Amino acid sequence: MKHIFSLVFLLTAVVGFAQEPFYTRFGFVAGYGFNMHTADFRALPGVPNCCPQFESGSGSGPLGGVFAELPLSQSILLGIRLSYVTHDATLTQEEATTVIVGGVEQAGAFTHTVDATLSSIGIEPTLNIHIVAGLYANVGMRIGAYLTKDYSQKEEISQPEGVGTFLDSNGNDSKQRVRNESSGEIPNAQSFLAQAIGGVS
């Protein structure tokens, strides 16, 4: 997975101190993220896979954290957040193949699937700029470390549905519908990540 874009919905609880409109704030956040991944690989390193190319995937998962916001002026708050985020995604790709149905060869298709289970803990410095009334624009970045980076994969006949087996490397009927099943930690996965952050609150 090369890149991750996340659309996040948050619920925030805030405790503030002092009487001024811009005051030091502490709180926690909880939410749910929708992840869109772009990819450019045929197989995970050292993991057998016959997929021609994985290009994209999507997923979702919970997130949460604690934060503090400190006033720099009457219109700008410096924010800092410690967060846990899930980056899960499922990548699929269909490939035409020949299947055996009732002893007869016919056109069919494999669906190649990689399920990635990803989560990280990170720190998020932001600038929160007052726009109007209670509306803020938020810009910043997130630096994180992966806590989980696991995968499971399989290649299964998807057409025709529920019937058919595939040919093995020698052109014989394998008597199977699924191949290249495996799971574990993603080989050579990066340990850290950096992301840009933007939004309104």
Report pLDDT digits (tens) over 4-47. 555 655 555 555 554 455 678 888 888 888 898 988 899 999 99
Task: Give pLDDT tens digits for 53-83.
Answer: 999 999 999 999 999 999 999 889 999 999 9
Residue 51 has pLDDT above 60, yes or no: yes
Average pLDDT over residues 146-168: 95
**Other CB atoms within 10 Å distance of the CB of residue 126:** 22
Q: Kind of pairing, strands 104-132 and 135-159? A: antiparallel
Label residues 28-53 b or e (16+ Cβ within 10 Å = b): ebeeebebebebeeebbeeeebebee
pLDDT at 67: 92
Angle 32-36-38 from CA coordinates, rounded to 5°? 155
pLDDT at 8: 57
Average pLDDT over residues 137-166: 95
1: confidence class by pLDDT, cuts 50, 70, 90: low
Confidence (pTM): 0.83
Task: Give pLDDT tens digits for 87-137.
Answer: 999 999 999 999 999 999 999 999 999 999 999 999 999 999 999 888 889
Residue 13 exposed, middle or buried by CB count within 10 Å (0-12, 13-18, 19+): exposed
Residue 169 has pLDDT above 90, yes or no: no
Residue 155: closest CA among 111, 109, 200: 111
CA distance 74 to 76: 6
Assign 188 to helix, strand or coil.
Answer: coil
Residue 193: closest CA among 139, 138, 107, 124: 124
CB 105 within 8 A of CB 98: yes
